[in-house]
Amino acid sequence: MFRGLLSFRGQYRILNFAWFAFFLTFVVWFNYAPFTTVIREDLHLTVAQSRTISLCNLALTIPARIIIGMLLDRFGPRLTFSSILVYAALPCWAFASAQNFNQLVLSRLAMGIVGAGFVVGIRLVGEWFESPEIGLAQGIYGGWGNFGSFAAEAFLPMIALTTSFLYAGHENWRLAIAFSGVVSLAFGVLFYLNVQNTPPGKAYQRPARNGGMEVTSSASFWALTLTNIPLLGALGLIAWRLQLVKFLAPTTMYGIWAFLVGLFFLQTYQAFKVNREVVLGQKTYPGGDRYQISQVFVLELAYAVSFGSELAVVSMLPEYFEHTFNLSHQIAGPVAATYPLMNLISRPAGGLISDKIGSRKWTLTFTIGGVGLGYMIMSQINPGLGLPFSVVLTMFCAFFVFAGAGATFGIAPLIKRRVTGQIAGNIGAYGSVGSVLYATTYSLLPQTVEGNHTFFQVLGMAGIVVAFLCAFLLKEPKVSQEDLEAAAMAAH
């Protein structure tokens, strides 16, 4: 496969465009993290306000991943991904020109939509690669795309520093962030002009109805309804956090909570309309055409503790290394970037192992267990261990975090092809739910060594619990009739 990537032909050309599009969405999504302390000092923010901005960066990703999953299944990856890349420039420029806390919050909330771009490539790669290679292909897409968070932390500070002469001698964080938006806009146009939704001769499968995810049994409908509660609950948690820092008045917070409750019932009604015949017992799917929503839920939890923890840790790690080892932020950013650096090998490794080992279930279980162990080890990092050894421990943990995310999406596209976008959207949204819960926990802990230890212990325990759920509840995915028909069509 790696030789094919260098050829830049056929399905490998599409994979290259996909991972680089994802890469750019992560560059712009995480362009705040390396400048946390600089922006805090420049605009005279409190620590609570600074951490709240990081939390806002994750907020709208939750509903956006579900909505974009639906749009993706309807309009296809080409239009959906290019639109996200072009849109990303707007919140970038708004954030780069912000002059106060409120403007920073609003632009970061708008930026959260860009984080939904990930689910688009999952469907696109799933259309161009069949089951024997899909784990590795998805791992390359996810791992190399996730590398955008490394690029943001490692290179944007360099751009800001080398252009400081344009900003009264101070680090030019505004130019660096605005520049990332320009690049995203340009590649969005290039993506639209060069990408196709499916290989020649292969039809793009769309769900029979739009407005909610298709399920194949009445029990799955009610289970899907319950799994939507944490998605909206995370948004309510963000509203509460914004009220604590005086961005929202209490009455506004209560109004948002009421809106979220109404949204839950509306979402449930829309899903009922899509699945009415199934819920009322008027339609029964044949055994080969069914899928279990419980399998989606386990994958959602796996993604919450892998990718969700990644989002939270990437956002806090530069500041963490800066304070723990008394580093300048110019040094702390590249040091912290060793964590997302592991994306280059670990996420593709998770997908490859999922393809080759013969059991996608046990690959995921093992890697999620490693997530729990890795964070427990990270909770013991302190100045006495020394910076080099602490970096090694961080990279050890990161390997399992990204491999776990890769193994999750080595399974996701095999559940139900025609609703892959919506399934990926729901799994991706749970990644954001996990990140919101973790980021909120971090924002409430004291900025001390003990507070950091507690944070990593919370991440570790969550990983261990979900590993047990994977072992006892997850089933080995089977190749569906849709996959067999798609493979036969590709062969001809």
Confidence of residue 144 (pLDDT cuts 50, 70, 90): confident
CA–CA distance, 430 with 109 (Å, rounded to integer) = 18
For residues 490 and 447, which has the higher predicted lDDT (pLDDT)? 447
- Give the start-to-end residue ranges of the domains of the chain: 2-197+208-491
- Taking 90 as the threshold, does the pLDDT of residue 190 lie above it? yes
pLDDT tens for each residue of 285-321? 877 777 888 889 999 999 999 989 988 888 788 888 8
Question: Coil, strand, or helix at residue 233?
Answer: helix
- Taking 70 as the threshold, does the pLDDT of residue 488 lie above it? no
Q: What is the DSSP letter of 326?
A: T
Distance, first Cα to last Cα, the chain = 21
CA–CA distance, 54 with 351 (Å, rounded to integer) = 29
**CA triplet 120, 122, 125: central angle to 5 degrees?**
110
For residues 353 and 256, which has the higher predicted lDDT (pLDDT)? 256
Confidence of residue 97 (pLDDT cuts 50, 70, 90): very high
In 10 A of CB 285, how many CB atoms? 14
pLDDT given for residue 350 in this prediction: 64
Q: 351-379: buried (b, 16+ CB within 10 Å) or exposed (e) per residue?
A: bbbbbeeeebbbbbbbbbbbbbbbbbebb
As a whole number, mean pLDDT of residues 117-145 equals 80
pLDDT given for residue 489 in this prediction: 39
> Which range has the worst mean pLDDT, 21-35, 85-99, 181-195, 336-350?
336-350
In 10 A of CB 294, how many CB atoms? 15
pLDDT tens for each residue of 397-455? 999 998 888 788 778 777 776 677 778 778 878 988 898 899 888 888 887 778 888 99
CA–CA distance, 293 with 312 (Å, rounded to integer) = 27
Largest CA distance in the chain: 71
Residues sharing a CB contact under 8 Å with residue 246, sequence separation 6 or more, in sequence order: none
CA–CA distance, 52 with 30 (Å, rounded to integer) = 14
pLDDT given for residue 168 in this prediction: 55
Residues sharing a CB contact under 8 Å with residue 86, sequence separation 6 or more, in sequence order: 184, 185, 188, 189
For residues 214 and 40, which has the higher predicted lDDT (pLDDT)? 40
Q: Which two tokens stand for residue 371?
A: 């997530």
> Which range has the worst mean pLDDT, 181-185, 265-269, 290-294?
290-294
For residues 229 and 477, which has the higher predicted lDDT (pLDDT)? 229
pLDDT tens for each residue of 368-390? 999 999 999 999 888 888 899 99
For residues 273 and 82, which has the higher predicted lDDT (pLDDT)? 82
CA–CA distance, 306 with 298 (Å, rounded to integer) = 12
CA–CA distance, 308 with 465 (Å, rounded to integer) = 15
Backbone angles phi, psi at 123, to 5 degrees: -70, -40
Q: What is the DSSP string of 130-194?
A: -HHHHHHHHHHHHHHHHHHHHHHHHHHHHHHHHTGGGTTTS--HHHHHHHHHHHHHHHHHHHHHH
- Percent with pLDDT over 70 in the chain: 89
Level-2 CATH architecture, domain 2-197+208-491: Up-down Bundle (1.20)
As a whole number, mean pLDDT of residues 222-250 equals 89
Q: Which helix (H) or strand (E) holds 56?
A: helix 47-59
CA–CA distance, 438 with 443 (Å, rounded to integer) = 9
Prediction pTM value:
0.77
pLDDT given for residue 470 in this prediction: 93
Confidence of residue 481 (pLDDT cuts 50, 70, 90): very low
For residues 418 and 363, which has the higher predicted lDDT (pLDDT)? 363
pLDDT given for residue 365 in this prediction: 93
**CA triplet 50, 52, 58: central angle to 5 degrees?**
120
For residues 165 and 103, which has the higher predicted lDDT (pLDDT)? 103
pLDDT tens for each residue of 56-84? 887 888 888 778 877 887 888 999 999 99
For residues 255 and 290, which has the higher predicted lDDT (pLDDT)? 255
Confidence of residue 10 (pLDDT cuts 50, 70, 90): confident
How much is the mean pLDDT over the chain? 84
Q: What is the DSSP string of 418-475?
A: GGHHHHHHHHHHHHHHHHHHHHHHHHHS-SSHHHHHHHHHHHHHHHHHHHHHHHHH--
The answer to whether the beta carbons of residues 300 and 412 sit under 8 Å apart is: no
Confidence of residue 492 (pLDDT cuts 50, 70, 90): very low
